Structure 1
Amino acid sequence: MLTLLVLTDFSPAADHALQYAAKLAAPGGAHLVLLHVRPSLLSPNALTASSATEEDANTLLRQRLQSLPTGLPASAAVASGEVAAEVAAAVRQREAAVVIVGRPELGPVPDELVHTTSLGLLRHLPCPLLVVPHHAAGAVPPQRALLAVDDQPLPRTPGTTALRPLLGQAALTVAFVADEEVAADPERAFNNARLAGLLAGFGPVQERGFANAEVAAGIADATALVQPDLLVLVARRRSLLGSLFHRSVTAAVVRAATVPVLVLPEHAD
Structure 2
Amino acid sequence: MKHSPALVVLTDFFAVSNRTLSYAAGLAVPLHAHLVLLHVRRDGLLAPAEYSHHTTSTERQTARQLQHLAAGQDVPTEVDISEDFLPEAVEDVVRRHHPLLLVLGRPGSATMPAEIVTNTAMDLLRHAPFPLLVVPTVSWDVRPPRRLLLAVDGQPFKLPETHQLLSRLLRANQGTLDVVHVATEAAPDDAPDVLAGIYPRGMLQEVEAHRVHHMQQPTVVGGVLQQAADMEADMLVVVARRHSLLGGLFHRSVTAQLIQESPVPVLVLPAEE
TM-score when scaled to structure 1?
0.84
Count, aligned residues: 262
Q: Please, which of 190, 194, 200 is the counterpart of residue 189 of structure 1?
A: 194
**1:211 positional shift:** 1.0
**1:178 positional shift:** 1.4
Partner of 1:234: 239
Structural RMSD (CA): 3.0
Q: Does 1:5 align with 2:8?
A: yes
Counterpart-to-counterpart distance in 1, 2:208 and 2:146: 11
Q: Does 1:199 align with 2:204?
A: yes
Instruction: Give the secondary structure class of the aligned counterpart of 2:154.
Output: coil
When structure 1 is superposed on structure 2, of 255-264 and 209-218 the one drifting more is 209-218
Identity of aligned residues (%): 38
Q: Does 1:254 align with 2:259?
A: yes
What is the correspondence of 1:75-224 to structure 2 with a 5 Å cutoff? 75-106=78-109, 112-113=115-116, 116-135=119-138, 137-138=140-141, 140-167=143-170, 168-182=173-187, 184-196=189-201, 198-199=203-204, 206-224=211-229
Instruction: Give the secondary structure class of the aligned counterpart of 2:197.
Output: helix
Counterpart-to-counterpart distance in 2, 1:176 and 1:67: 41
Are the aligned partners of 1:39 and 1:82 in contact in 2 as well (CA < 8 Å)? yes
Partner AA of 2:168 in structure 1: P
Instruction: Give the secondary structure class of the aligned counterpart of 1:105.
Output: coil
Are the aligned partners of 2:118 and 2:259 in contact in 1 as well (CA < 8 Å)? no
Structure 1: 5+ residue stretches without partners:
none
**1:171 positional shift:** 0.9
Counterpart-to-counterpart distance in 2, 1:156 and 1:29: 23
Are the aligned partners of 1:177 and 1:211 in contact in 2 as well (CA < 8 Å)? yes
Counterpart-to-counterpart distance in 1, 2:221 and 2:248: 17
Are the aligned partners of 1:159 and 1:197 in contact in 2 as well (CA < 8 Å)? no
Could you list the runs of 4 or more consecutive aligned residues of structure 1 that deviate by over 4 angstroms after TM superposition? 45-50, 155-158, 202-205
Map Cα deviations across residues 94-128 of structure 1 (whole Å, 9 max, x no partner).
11110001001156x99833675333211122420
TM-score when scaled to structure 2?
0.83
What is the correspondence of 1:14-33 to structure 2 with a 5 Å cutoff? 15-33=18-36
Structure 2: 5+ residue stretches without partners:
none
